[in-house]
Structure 1
């Protein structure tokens, strides 16, 4: 799927997707504990609401820079009305971007750090952007088997999908940081200190049953397969709707998301 189509998909499900991810990002924000006046980098911000959430925490004396590799995502964010004066956006690859040394008090990411080609090198580059003692905080997925949010839709649609792609999903980039010991090693080799990795399980929803089906068939484990196979979308959506109907409630279906909340600091 080309980047422009990916951003278009995000736009079409922006509100229900944000409902799903906001509680997970909030948990990482609370762990990072940014303060009034801090300058914060938001890595892989996509078109989500995290730059605005950060701006409220740092206040008018602080600032937030949202970074994403997709130009169309940055164009969407810049075109949003009502962006606070203390928020700016840049397009670039966090692995190689030439940050000014020590220019941020904190670095945050909501599911924006799992797809690096060279994770150690990328975090080393981000460390360079932090002031001495600056803080890193992010949320990433645990294993597929610990994520009902992806596992249930995948199982519901599995009979309709290419078996080899279903079997490879557990090893895809989404779950590249599923092992805490591997993640701890990467951050340590990059130069970070005081690495803390905490397991968190959160029941999340996207709104109505229809909205949950729409989100799960367009992003995440199933969405990654269906985006290149639109002819399977209708049947997969019906299968998922059947699977989720018994989980429907006042907020729509709720599924358990299993994540790591990660914090560390620069020397």
Structure 2
């Protein structure tokens, strides 16, 4: 086995392990923040369809996590007028715990609707080898999931494959730390008070690669997407985090790579990191008078129509 393959296996195992145990912490800590992208994410993927649409709509949400994207998609479906078309929603994730959480969230919604045109299913699988036929979906979304793929371009390629001609993919990624205050506090504190280069942490793609609009659009175009565009959501704020200690705990319990980095610090480094994060939080937010600014970039593109 090559060292590249071994590192890929280690990276994917780390991601799966941490999401199997961190799903509830992510739901509570990141959910109110990451949900802020969803209306734009869905719109950029061409969902919901225009009123009066008659063809079937098939949306795939990759790395569906707690099911926030599909939950909003259900809301849109219930408020629209799409008959006689069918809206089929599919959520894919690598962990069963997230799938179960998403199922429960959305099944509760479906009990409240009498719509007969709405279908829903969930699949456990990899974003880099999507277990679906070619040209199966009209829209594909991925809300921050691309940050956790070892081969993010394989996800883009697979999304192109499973989209129908004219269908759209949209995905979100955090803006760089210069703009995302929560990540800037954490990464600077680890660098200044701890060890940023810990042993045993599987190497992976740069976490913020797709937070660059030019790089994101270029990657999509290289794979074959057209009509690519990016939207920076600059008004997103982290209202569910209150203080540096709270930020530390959310990152420790509700992330993957950052969690691993924090766990590998010594006891003294951990104390120093926590103290510095608390001070930086106070300085950046003017003693907590405002929430952390956490902008995100949404990039989208269309599968060309067949000639």
Q: What TM-score do the two structures reach when normalised by structure 2?
A: 0.72
Residue 108 (structure 2) pairs with residue 82 (structure 1): yes
Pair member with larger Rg? 2
2:47 aligned partner? 34
Which runs of no fewer than 5 residues in structure 1 stay unpaired?
Answer: none
Instruction: Provide the rounded CA distance (Å) in 1 between the counterparts of 2:160 and 2:98.
Output: 24
SS of 1:87's equivalent? strand
Call closer, same or farther: CA 1:25–1:152 in 2, change over 3 Å.
Answer: farther
2:235 aligned partner? 202
Shift of 1:17: 1.6
Instruction: Provide the rounded CA distance (Å) in 2 between the counterparts of 1:174 and 1:186.
Output: 15
2:10 aligned partner? none
Instruction: Provide the rounded CA distance (Å) in 2 between the counterparts of 1:130 and 1:164.
Output: 39
Q: 1:44 aligns with which of 57, 63, 79?
A: 63
Aligned length: 261
Instruction: Provide the rounded CA distance (Å) in 1 between the counterparts of 2:92 and 2:237.
Output: 26
Instruction: Provide the rounded CA distance (Å) in 1 between the counterparts of 2:148 and 2:28.
Output: 24
Call closer, same or farther: CA 1:30–1:113 in 2, change over 3 Å.
Answer: same
1:215 aligned partner? 250
Residue 297 (structure 2) pairs with residue 260 (structure 1): yes
8 Å CA contact 2:48–2:73 kept in 1: the answer is no
Shift of 1:192: 0.8
Note the 1:111-150 alignment, pairs <5 A.
Answer: 111-150=144-183
8 Å CA contact 1:203–1:254 kept in 2: the answer is no
Call closer, same or farther: CA 1:12–1:220 in 2, change over 3 Å.
Answer: closer
1:67 aligned partner? 92
SS of 1:146's equivalent? coil
2:262 aligned partner? 226
8 Å CA contact 2:210–2:216 kept in 1: the answer is yes
| 1:73-98, Cα deviation, whole Å (9 max, x unpaired) | 22333355615363321111121123
| 1:142-176, Cα deviation, whole Å (9 max, x unpaired) | 323332220122223433321435xx9xx854212
Q: 1:240 aligns with which of 277, 284, 288?
A: 277
Q: 1:17 aligns with which of 26, 30, 41?
A: 30
CA RMSD of aligned residues (A): 3.0
Which runs of no fewer than 5 residues in structure 2 stay unpaired?
Answer: 1-13, 50-55, 81-85, 111-117
Instruction: Provide the rounded CA distance (Å) in 2 between the counterparts of 1:75 and 1:26.
Output: 23
Call closer, same or farther: CA 1:260–1:220 in 2, change over 3 Å.
Answer: farther
2:131 aligned partner? 98
Q: Which one is further off, 227-236 or 238-247?
A: 227-236
Q: What TM-score do the two structures reach when normalised by structure 1?
A: 0.82
Instruction: Provide the rounded CA distance (Å) in 1 between the counterparts of 2:263 and 2:66.
Output: 18
